[in-house]
């Protein structure tokens, strides 16, 4: 199986032994407390689950600036996005060795992890501007990821952590949330060697379905990992439970048995375009996948990135930075001429009128009005799940 990123083995930071977890939770009662923001909590979940292998915890200022500028930590580890614990309130955690990190997304704010504090550093407005612009490619606060990043705390709390639970993800998505460790184990038990991953924060329509099938065939994969983001999204995105139900129905009816793993991971969407695409590749390499589909406007939002910037960035990475391979995909759509879904680059004789294409706005309007989507665009069983959701929200 493909090696994890930067390591011979996965380095999940979750405390597996139940007795040890209970001891640590008891100890944490006497530690100073820090209520995390959602982004820092998501980083903890990803560190615990092994997706952030080989990181040992939250970065310090020097590493964060280095990663933002060069996609390398100070020690030379390739990494595309700062992994931070930021806060505005350090009054309870100054001059202390260990702190209990509280979960902002669970009732009662239980302890999510224990952190050994290496340093607490204030970041200047210039530091923040530099990190933001290099990571997101813009300082526009209308960008949802930029807005979140700029509004986080001005202090960086760095140091290794030990993770004690997976927040709300295990409880809310028991059939879908999986750690990188669990996915590797599942891939191994299936005897799969070549696995192509598909990242999604949206429901999957006909074009996405066929893209997975095209990629699987092209790389001669044993199976497909459909890996959906289960964390926080921008306003207007479809909730994870609805996406989960729609994707499961699509796979049940339209994929051969035992060719797809439906899983999810506990991270908040950054909408960081090219940089986040590289982070997505690391997640999937750590989960044991050999290929990642990177399509048009991967991890993008609005018009902040070019349609294929997320593919182009992989051409600029240092030699050997990643072992996972990228399957570059063009925009896919149903061809009226050929009566099937195609990649647009493969049909240069087509005009826009030859494709069945709907904007996201048009899709939402039709679903909210109870209008059926064209079968060339969406499987009817999938469209019904989405329509039921939109009509319930109207």
Active centre residues (catalytic): 201-202
CB 149 within 8 A of CB 133: no
d(CA 175, CA 152): 32
d(CA 164, CA 300): 32
Nearest to 166 by CA among 224, 113, 122, 120: 113
> Which tokens belong to 39?
């982004």
> Which tokens belong to 117?
């504090």
Q: What angle do CA 79, 84, 88 make, to 5 degrees?
A: 160
d(CA 385, CA 394): 15
3-class state of residue 82 by DSSP: coil
Characterize the bridge pairing of strands 57-58 and 355-356: unpaired
Question: How far, in Å, are 10, 54, 187, 249, 277 from residue 181 at the CA level?
Answer: 7, 13, 10, 26, 21
Beta bridge partners of 163: 14, 113
d(CA 213, CA 82): 33
Place of tokens 């200047």: 124
d(CA 27, CA 22): 9
> Which tokens belong to 31?
């530690």
3-class state of residue 198 by DSSP: strand
> Which tokens belong to 179?
């750690």
Long-range contacts of 125-131 (CB under 8 A, 24+ apart): 127/61, 127/65, 128/154, 130/65, 130/68, 130/69, 131/64, 131/65, 131/68, 131/82
Cβ contacts of 168 within 8 Å, gap of 6 or more: 105, 106
> Which tokens belong to 63?
């590493």
């Amino acid at each position: 199986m493909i090696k994890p990123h930067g390591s011979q083995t996965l380095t999940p930071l979750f405390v597996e032994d139940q007795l040890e977890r209970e001891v640590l939770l008891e100890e944490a009662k006497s530690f100073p407390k820090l209520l995390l923001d959602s982004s820092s909590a998501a980083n903890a979940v990803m560190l615990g689950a092994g997706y952030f292998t080989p990181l040992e915890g939250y970065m310090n200022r020097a590493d964060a600036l280095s990663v933002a500028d060069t996609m390398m930590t100070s020690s030379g580890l390739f990494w595309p996005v700062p992994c931070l614990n930021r806060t505005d309130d350090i009054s309870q955690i100054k001059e202390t060795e260990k702190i209990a990190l509280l979960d902002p997304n669970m009732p009662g704010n239980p302890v999510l992890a224990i952190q050994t504090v290496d340093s607490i550093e204030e970041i200047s407005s210039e530091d923040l501007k530099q990190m933001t612009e290099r990571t997101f490619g813009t300082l526009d606060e209308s960008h949802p990821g930029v807005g979140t990043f700029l509004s986080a705390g001005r202090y960086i709390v760095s140091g290794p952590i030990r993770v004690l639970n997976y927040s709300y993800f295990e409880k809310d998505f028991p059939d879908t949330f999986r750690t990188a460790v669990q996915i590797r184990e599942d891939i191994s038990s299936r005897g799969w060697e070549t696995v192509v991953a598909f990242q999604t924060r949206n429901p999957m329509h006909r074009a996405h379905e066929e893209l997975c099938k095209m990629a699987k065939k092209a790389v001669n994969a044993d199976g497909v990992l459909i890996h959906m983001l289960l964390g926080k999204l921008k306003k207007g995105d479809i909730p994870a439970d609805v996406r989960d139900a729609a994707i499961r129905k699509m796979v049940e009816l339209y994929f051969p048995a035992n060719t797809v793993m439906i899983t999810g991971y506990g991270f908040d969407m950054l909408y960081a375009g090219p940089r986040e695409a590289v982070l997505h590749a690391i997640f999937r390499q750590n989960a044991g996948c050999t290929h990642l589909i990177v399509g048009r406007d991967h991890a993008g939002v609005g018009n902040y990135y070019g349609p294929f910037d997320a593919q182009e960035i992989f051409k600029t990475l240092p030699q050997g930075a990643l072992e996972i391979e990228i399957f570059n995909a063009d925009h896919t759509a149903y061809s009226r001429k050929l009566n099937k879904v195609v990649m647009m680059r493969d049909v240069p004789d087509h005009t826009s009128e030859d494709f069945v294409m709907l904007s996201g706005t048009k899709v939402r309007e039709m679903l909210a009005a109870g209008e059926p989507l064209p079968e060339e665009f969406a499987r009817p069983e999938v469209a019904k799940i989405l329509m039921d959701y939109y009509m319930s929200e109207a």
